[in-house]
Amino acid sequence: QQQVKQSPQSLIVQKGGISIINCAYENTAFDYFPWYQQFPGKGPALLIAIRPDVSEKKEGRFTISFNKSAKQFSLHIMDSQPGDSATYFCAARGTNTGNQFYFGTGTSLTVIP
Amino acid sequence: SAVISQKPSRDICQRGTSLTIQCQVDSQVTMMFWYRQQPGQSLTLIATANQGSEATYESGFVIDKFPISRPNLTFSTLTVSNMSPEDSSIYLCSVGGTLTDTQYFGPGTRLTVL
């Protein structure tokens, strides 16, 4: 059973556009939601994270929007750049999952110059 | 954040052999994790390794196939035993995961089994 569902599987955006990746979860005990960015041949790197006590977190061009009632959260990349082309994973961890993180299936983002 | 290194970065192995992957962290950590990432897929947790105790394996992974060592607070190894082509994957070491932190990943070991 996939604990965190991520969409779309792939995304192509023009340079300067907005990239939006969505994730949904079922476990209401999840209380920490990070996003990871992975370039080919590299391990995933933490990009931005949010806890459910806020509805939005912004760091530079990257914003997480969080909807607790809908159990959904999304990553918005503003002014997308070719250097943002990578695979993005959402994840979740909760008080009843110990230290285990559950990852989405990933979104391959391509930003066209 | 922690700096994590893995060895080897990649390897090509023959069916039936074993490969040991090393993970080194630049600081002492309580918990280390081993993940598998199959081509184009998400990350799947193999096991959690605490120093001084037996590793805890997730469903579908067994110690005989993936023995893990955790001799100290900065180092761990994962062995992929009796390999088959289905074991071809990227194996990632990570640390962190406490309630006040997140997980940081090593660069991964890309394994190809022929």
Q: What pLDDT digit, counting tens, does each position of B26-75 carry? A: 989 888 999 999 877 889 999 999 888 889 999 899 999 999 999 999 99
Structure tokens at B66: 């993936």
Residue-range domain boundaries for chain A: 4-112
Q: How many domains are there within chain B?
A: 1
Q: What pLDDT digit, counting tens, does each position of A15-40 carry? A: 999 999 999 999 888 988 999 999 98
B83 touching chain A per CB within 8 A: no
Residue partners of B105: CB distance under 8 A and separation at least 6: A36, A43, A44, A45, B4, B35, B92, B93, B94
Rg (CA), chain B: 13
Nearest-Cα distance to chain A for B108, in Å, is 6
CB–CB contacts below 8 A, A to B: 49
pLDDT at B50: 85
pLDDT band at A112 (very low <50, low <70, confident <90, very high): very high
Q: Is the Cβ pair A99, B105 closer than 8 Å?
A: no
Q: Is the Cβ pair A43, B108 closer than 8 Å?
A: yes
What percent of chain A clears pLDDT 70, i.e. is strictly above it? 96
pLDDT band at A74 (very low <50, low <70, confident <90, very high): very high
pLDDT band at B18 (very low <50, low <70, confident <90, very high): very high
B73 touching chain A per CB within 8 A: no
Mean pLDDT of B93-104: 73
Residue partners of A69: CB distance under 8 A and separation at least 6: none
Residues in chain A: 113
A46 touching chain B per CB within 8 A: yes
* Amino acid identity, position A65: S
Picking from B1, B42, B95 by the largest number of A CB atoms within 10 A of its own CB, the best residue to mutate is: B42
- Residue A106 with chain B: CB contacts under 8 Å: 40-42
pLDDT band at B98 (very low <50, low <70, confident <90, very high): low
Q: Judged by CB atoms within 8 Å, which residues 6-25 of A form the interface with B?
A: none
Contact yes or no for B33/B103 (Cβ under 8 A):
yes
pLDDT of residue A97 exceeding 90: no
pLDDT at A98: 65
pLDDT at A29: 87
Residue partners of A83: CB distance under 8 A and separation at least 6: A111
Q: What is the CATH number of the domain that holds B89?
A: 2.60.40.10
Best CATH choice for the domain A4-112 from the list 3.40.50.2300, 2.60.40.10, 3.40.720.10, 3.40.50.300: 2.60.40.10
The residue range of the domain holding B84 is: 4-113
Q: Is the Cβ pair A99, B97 closer than 8 Å?
A: yes
pLDDT band at A44 (very low <50, low <70, confident <90, very high): very high
Distance CA A6, CA A22 (A): 6
pLDDT at B60: 92
Picking from A7, A95, A99 by the largest number of B CB atoms within 10 A of its own CB, the best residue to mutate is: A99
